[in-house]
Amino acid sequence: MKGLYIHIPFCVSKCFYCDFNSYAGKLYLAEPYVGAVLKEAQRFSGCEINTVYIGGGTPTALPCPEITRLISGIKKIFKISADAEFTVEMNPGTADGDYLKALKALGVNRISMGAQSFDDTLLKKIGRIHRSDDIFTAVRLCKEAGFENYSLDLMFSLPGQTLAVWADTIKKAVSLKPSHISAYGLKIEPGTPFYERGVKPLPDSLDREMYHLATDFFKSHGLNQYEISNFAILGKESRHNLKYWHCEEYIGLGAGAHGFISDNGKKIRYSNIKAVESYINKIGETGNAVSEKNILTENDIKTEKIIMGLRLTEGVPQELIPEEKAAFYIKNGFMKKNLNRVSFTEKGFDVSNTILSDLI
Ligand code: SF4
């Protein structure tokens, strides 16, 4: 069965580090946008789905009637299995009890919340619309709406962030008893306000110290690391994201969405037009807004399996890695072997990009 990703490109305002395909001030397009997504979905009508992920952007910026129309619509178009994982991303600054109850009633069973930090000064500095108290409120509202499975996204290596401030954030995050945490180091991407302003990343040594502080802390609180940046209590690993890392198929709908599907025995990666208006227009005209399509060769597939699979602590089948290279990295403590699989050690994760470029 496939995964289904739906991109909602609307945000209340744009965070200073964000290079996602998201736009502030375009919510007036919500109604035609949802209509376009439902029309695009018709291309895949009847497809069997066992994970749904509505991400963005800020899906919860959509007015409740629109997200209701979207979810009700896709449930009719696809065959979504009864035990599907169904995630909606939420910004704590948009949390609303009735909205969350509506999502629950529609079959959503997992919330992924962009908490990022519990330090108000930092939240302001990175351009988030919420403050620390909003995260506590949002989690309470999730629980009241009946969500037991909620994930918190956190960011480290933020400008001016100290180890003590990060330690306080991970402590507060864990105190909220999430089933899952994602923790990403800030990358300053071209085109973002941070990049334009010349904001510099924290020193590498501090970045690594923050990362290891978090991995150790989460582990000691029952949140096992299963991916380089992701931690979960047993059985609550993100089934949808695991499809990406296992190179399994998923349909992507919406402006700028990516998909990975088979067609006539060929493995195809595609991406849609990014601009919201152009996406709506193109779907209106043709029902299809694919702007890029790549047919993967055997070698492309192998490379992807290495790159994506080595992000996971379970690693990849040994035969994917050249024997001599695996032996070298194992001998030097960067990789380890478990039965017939090879994975990065903690030391290996720290330099994974360098090793990956050697392996592929
Ligand atoms: S809420 Fe998320 S998608 Fe929207 S601007 Fe901020 S980081 Fe980007």
Q: What is the DSSP track for 54-85?
A: EEES-GGGS-HHHHHHHHHHHHHHSEEEEEEE
**pLDDT above 90: residue 106:** yes
Written as one string, the DSSP assignment of 77-141 is: HSEEEEEEEEEEEE-GGG--HHHHHHHHHTT--EEEEEEE-S-HHHHHHTT-S--HHHHHHHHHH
Domains of the chain, CATH where assigned = 2-244 (3.20.20.70), 300-359 (no CATH)
CA dihedral 24, 29, 30, 32 (to 10 degrees): -160
User: Which strands, in side-by-side order, build the sheet including 316-317?
Assistant: 316-317, 341-344, 335-338
Instruction: Give the end-to-end CA distance of the chain in Å, rounded to a whole number.
Output: 29
Is the separation of the CB atoms in 168 and 118 below 8 Å?
yes
Q: Could you tell me if 347 and 334 are in contact, meaning their C-beta atoms sit under 8 angstroms apart?
A: yes
Q: Which of 17, 18, 60, 192 to mutate to test the pocket of ligand 1 (most atoms within 8 A of CB)?
A: 18
Average pLDDT rounded to a whole number, residues 222-248: 98
Q: Looking at ligand 1, which residue's alpha carbon is closest to its atom 6?
A: 15
Quote the CA–CA distance of 149 and 178 in Å, as a whole number.
Answer: 7
Q: Over pLDDT 70: what percentage of the chain?
A: 100
Categorize the per-residue pLDDT at 321 as very low, low, confident or very high, splitting at 50, 70 and 90: very high
Identify the pLDDT of residue 177.
98
Q: Strand 79-90 to strand 110-116: parallel, antiparallel, or no bridges (unpaired)?
A: parallel
Distance 17 CA to ligand 1 centre (A): 8
Residue 360 is predicted with a pLDDT of 86
pLDDT score recorded for residue 29? 98
DSSP 297: P
Report which protein residue has its CA nearest ligand 1's atom 5: 14
Rounded-to-integer distance, Cα 92 and Cα 73, Å: 26
Please say whether the beta carbons of 230 and 237 come within 8 A. yes
For ligand 1, the distance from its centroid to the CA atom of residue 342, given in whole angstroms, is 35
Region 350-358 average pLDDT: 94
**Average confidence (pLDDT) over 8-23:** 97
Distance (Å) from CA 71 to ligand 1 centroid: 21
Could you read off the pLDDT of 77-98 as tens digits, one per residue?
999 999 999 999 999 998 999 9
pLDDT of residue 81: 98
Tell me which amino acid residue 347 is. Answer: K
Distance CA(7)–CA(3), nearest Å, equals 13
Would the CB of 230 count as within 6 Å of ligand 1? no
Residue 156 predicted with pLDDT over 90:
yes
pLDDT of residue 17: 97
Q: Span 199-214, mean pLDDT?
A: 95
Write out pLDDT tens, residues 54-81: 999 999 999 999 999 999 999 999 999 9
* Mean pLDDT, rounded, of the chain: 97
State mean pLDDT over 284-302.
97
